[in-house]
Amino acid sequence: MLLSLDSLTDVERRYEELADLLARPEVVANSEDMRRYGRERRSLEPVVAAYRAYRDVSAQLADAEGFLNSEDPDLAALAHEEVERLRGEHAEAEAALKRALLPRDPNEERPAIVEIRAGTGGEEAALFAADLLRMYTRYAERHGWRVEMVDENQTGMGGMKEVVCELQGRGAYARLRYESGVHRVQRVPTTEASGRIHTSTATVAVLPEMEDVDVHVDANDVEMETFRSGGAGGQNVNKVSTAVRLIHKPTGIVVVCQTERSQFQNRQRAMAVLRARLYDIEQRRVQEQVTQTRRAQVGTGERSEKIRTYNFPQNRVTDHRINVTLYNLEAVLDGELDALVDALATAEQTEHLRAAGLAS
């Protein structure tokens, strides 16, 4: 067992304490406390449920074993059958509890900020970046998430030099965090008269959306500039300076948002992206201090990694981290990503089990 039974009892006690806290009027009136306590309780729920199931079947097994030496032969025979059945359930419950106790990203339930940038390949790379944006947008629609644009830099042919968007929905980050890295496309560009296959790339970064209570940004460290939006029109757009550019002076990070109709809304969205980037920088710094094997792990999100290839001539999508190949390129680009995401999640869980000595 990864945790002692006493420790698991403490976890269950905290779970119940959080339920009590969430019912208190002063907490209900404080949205930040509600989010923080609610998130903590949801993170403990799988462990508590698995522990309770394990504890219940352990008690049933102990009771059944008490009748194995009964003087009544019929009762002893029934007890033997019951013990055999419960031992199987006990092993399954123990395995489920061990899986529930594996390390989890504390940000799994958060919305996601997705940043896509064209890489090598000129206009074809920009067109591929636009394809990836559509893929994630369609994936979000399938899961009932809301997509909100933060910033986009389009090309004349409909491509995207770079685009930043928010995917608002519980668990968006958990599902999309494996997408961080370099995506490669192999196809014949529409601009290529000779029909040669070109290879282009786009970089994807997926960050958990952070709140001010999680990542505090000192107002004195942020310089804000305003300018007129370059959007397609509408009230205020191109008429007043509603677009916002935030410059984080200590790190040099620049965030632009010009998709909303008010300066206040654009600043709020830009601050969300800034907090996510600062959190990402700090997490990378900590992880690099802790381990030197991070690049070898599934789903590390290293942006220098070439994680996936989309090959149009062969109708093939290959994820290089887990050596999985699918021959349904059109469906994947239409947002059918769950087969890849599930395979990546399974591979990551297997790595964690192996690291904990629970798998061969």
CA dihedral 48, 49, 55, 59 (to 10 degrees): 150
pLDDT in tens, 241-282: 788 999 999 999 999 998 888 888 898 889 999 999 998 888
The share of the chain scoring above pLDDT 70, in percent, equals 87
- Asked if residue 13 has pLDDT above 80, the reply is yes
Q: State the average pLDDT over residues 167-186.
A: 93
Band (pLDDT 50/70/90 cuts) for residue 148 is very high
> What domains are defined for the chain?
5-100 (1.20.58), 112-210+299-351 (3.30.70.1660), 219-287 (3.30.160.20)
**Tell me, what's the pLDDT at 302?**
42
Residue type for position 159: G
**pLDDT tens readout for residues 210-239:** 876 678 888 899 999 888 776 544 444 455
Looking at the chain, the whole-number percentage of residues with pLDDT higher than 90 is 53
Kindly tell me if the per-residue pLDDT of 19 is higher than 70: yes
The pLDDT of residue 7: 85
pLDDT at site 356 = 62
- Cα dist from 255 to 247, 309, 359, whole Å: 7, 29, 43
335: left (phi over 0), alpha (psi -120 to 50) or beta: left
187, 313 contact by CB (below 8 A): yes
pLDDT for residue 4: 66
The answer, yes or no, to whether residue 130 has pLDDT greater than 60, is: yes
pLDDT tens digits, residue range 26-44? 999 998 889 889 888 988 8
Half-sphere exposure of 301 (CA within 13 A, CB side): 21
pLDDT (tens digit, 9 = 90+) per residue, 51-91? Answer: 999 999 999 999 999 999 888 888 999 999 999 999 999 99
Q: What's the whole-number average pLDDT of the chain?
A: 85
**Model confidence at 330: pLDDT above 80:** yes
Give residues with Cβ within 8 angstroms of 318, minimum separation 6. 308, 309, 311, 324, 325, 326
197: nearest Cα among 286, 63, 344, 313: 313
| pLDDT the model gives residue 297 | 36
Please say whether the dihedral angle defined by the alpha carbons of residues 326, 147, 184 and 156, taken in this order, is positive or negative.
positive
Determine the pLDDT at residue 300: 39
- For residue 306, give the amino acid letter: K
Measured between alpha carbons, how far is 230 from 162 in angstroms, rounded to an integer?
15
Confidence (pLDDT) at 21: 93
8 pLDDT tier (thresholds 50, 70, 90)? confident
- The two tokens of residue 135 are 């893929």
Closest C-alpha among 102, 161, 156, 118 to residue 348: 102
